[in-house]
Amino acid sequence: MNDSNTSQFSGKFMISQKNNDSSIFNIEANINKNASIIQIKKPFYGNVLKIEMHQDKRTVFLPSNNNDLFNVPNLIERNFRNWLKQCIFANELNIYESKDKFSFRFKCEKDKNRTNILIEYNEFNIKGFLSKT
């Protein structure tokens, strides 16, 4: 996916779960009008998660062979692509949803050439940044 309409980003994220240690991951994102791909990697470990987003289709979360499948609520699956594009290309974004046992926040802020991102999903916290490459 290396055409002239693709915006490429890289960054780092710290993922933590309540009552557990945190882990740091590298991230590469290729954002395109019709299809976007996010690769999440851990140093010395390789790919951890690949997220594929295609226009007019659901977001697909593909963990590596070494990781367990996980449930992504329909609200996130349906909207993640649009939220990410708004996050990267706007100055800020703050989405909060809470229903039954489900709680989700997606917050972004620009800081010069970086986009700082905070995602809270139930007991998981993802905090990091993306920069255009």
Q: Identify the band that residue 1 occupies on the pLDDT scale cut at 50, 70 and 90.
A: very low
H-assigned helices in the chain: 74-89
Query: Is residue 2, in this structure, part of any structural domain at all?
Result: no
Residue 1 lies in a domain: no
**Residue range 111-125, pLDDT digits in tens:** 888 999 998 888 888
Residue of 44, 40, 14, 46 lying closest to 27 (CA atoms): 40
Q: Is residue 97 part of a domain?
A: yes
Token digits of residue 78: 């349906």
Q: Which residues pair with 108 in a beta bridge?
A: 93, 117
Question: Is residue 51 in a domain?
Answer: yes
pLDDT at 22: 86
Domain carrying residue 121: 7-132
* Mean predicted lDDT score pLDDT of the chain: 84
pLDDT digits (tens, 9 = 90+) for 63-117: 776 666 566 777 787 788 888 888 888 888 899 988 777 888 999 999 888 999 9
35 or 72, greater pLDDT: 35
Place of tokens 């019709």: 34
63, part of any domain: yes
Q: Is 56 part of any domain?
A: yes
- Residue 97, judged by CB atoms within 10 A of its CB (0-12, 13-18, 19+), counts as middle
Q: What is the CATH number of the domain that holds 104?
A: 2.40.128.20
Residue 28 lies in a domain: yes
60-71 exposure pattern, b = at least 16 Cβ within 10 A, e = fewer: ebeeeeeeeeee
Split into its structural domains, the chain has a count of: 1
Distance spanning both ends of the chain, measured CA to CA: 15
